[in-house]
Amino acid sequence: MFKQMLVFTLSLLLVLLAGSCKKAGQKDAEGLRKLRVVLDWTPNTNHTGLYVAQELGYFKEAGLIVEIIQPGEYTAEKIVALGQAEFGVSYQESVTIARSEKIPIKSIAAIIQHNTSGFASLKESGIESVKDFAGKRYGSSGWPSELEIIRHLMEAAAADYSTLKVISGVYDFFTTIGKDADFEWIYHGWDGVQAKRRGIELNYIPIRDLDPIFDFYTPVLISGEQLINSEPELVKSFVKAVSRGYDYCIAEPQKAAAILAKADPNLDPEHVRLSMEYLSGEYRSDAPKWGFQKTEVWQRFADWMQARRIITEPVKAEDLFTNEFLP
């Protein structure tokens, strides 16, 4: 069921092959190239560098005018592949599934260098290790690899996966944890810092500490192969401007937080500030520069996905990502 979320119908493929970038090339009155970047979700601190590049004029200096849009009926992967946006925010998992289904998208930068997600539960739950998952209720948001990752980890910890009760359709951590579910998968830089702010004590198990396979890139910046191959200089200009935006986030997290909060009044400025303080050390982390991606990170997770039958066709890392557009 999950894989079908990323599988195209024949009619959509025909649209793609007919020329997905039909709106590419338009310019405004100043001669700036019009582009669209589609988010994976509503605006949050994963996206701050995009809003900084927009607010501080980095896109304009690169000869671009960029519209930041949100996904609707289709996922960001489909929107980009169909040319309804030139760039998008995705995840290593989604890119891998898409490529296994012959959807021609590719990651062009890692937005965050390491996986900052993990398993969270209330302190009083007593869930301190993967072994403690047995017999508990897990709040699932339903993304493709989620349950297989938990199964893998529980098997490695000699915990009985069959005793896990999966509660589907769980999306809001704070209204469900300890009520509908005993533990959930969260991004520490968003829900984790918010829990601390609210004085909610958590047990938190970072996924990257459990197995190197799961220290994958989430999120990533993507584009379609048609644009990558036909206009590499355009892609390079866009990535350079975005890179400047994230470098600013790393150097000036509080100022960057203010820019994001201004861009979306629905966001809590204090929550954004705390999240940015955390992510400023994670955007680049130990990488030589922002956006850098490693072959082994892509290949080992793709191989694991195939072994677990999440994808049925093998994929090569070089078809999934590129560092060629990083400044």
pLDDT, one tens digit per residue, over 171-180 is 899 999 999 9
E strand residue ranges, the chain: 33-38, 64-69, 87-90, 105-110, 117-122, 137-139, 165-167, 183-187, 202-206, 220-224
* Dihedral sign of CA atoms 245, 246, 252, 257 in order: positive
Model pLDDT for residues 41-87, shown as the tens digit of each residue: 999 999 999 999 999 999 999 999 999 999 988 899 999 999 999 99
Rounded CA separation 145/151 (Å): 10
Q: Quick check: pTM over 0.85? A: yes
pLDDT score of 16 more than 50: no
* pLDDT value for 199: 97
Q: State the pLDDT confidence band at 29, using cuts at 50, 70 and 90.
A: low
What value, to the nearest 5°, has the Cα angle with vertex 230 and ends 224 and 232? 80
* pLDDT value for 184: 98
Backbone angles phi and psi of 263, in degrees to 5: -70, -30
Contact 228, 251 (CB under 8 A): no
* pLDDT value for 1: 36
Q: Are strands 64-69 and 33-38 parallel, antiparallel or unpaired?
A: parallel
* pLDDT value for 25: 57
Compute the average pLDDT of residues 120-143: 97
Model pLDDT for residues 290-324, shown as the tens digit of each residue: 999 999 999 999 999 999 999 999 999 999 999 99
* pLDDT value for 72: 86
Q: Which domains does the chain have, with CATH numbers?
A: 3-114+217-319 (3.40.190.10), 117-214 (3.40.190.10)
pLDDT score of 23 more than 80: no
DSSP-assigned beta bridge partners for residue 36: 67
Q: What is the DSSP letter of 118?
A: E
Q: State the pLDDT confidence band at 13, using cuts at 50, 70 and 90.
A: very low
pLDDT score of 20 more than 90: no
CA 107 to chain centre: 11
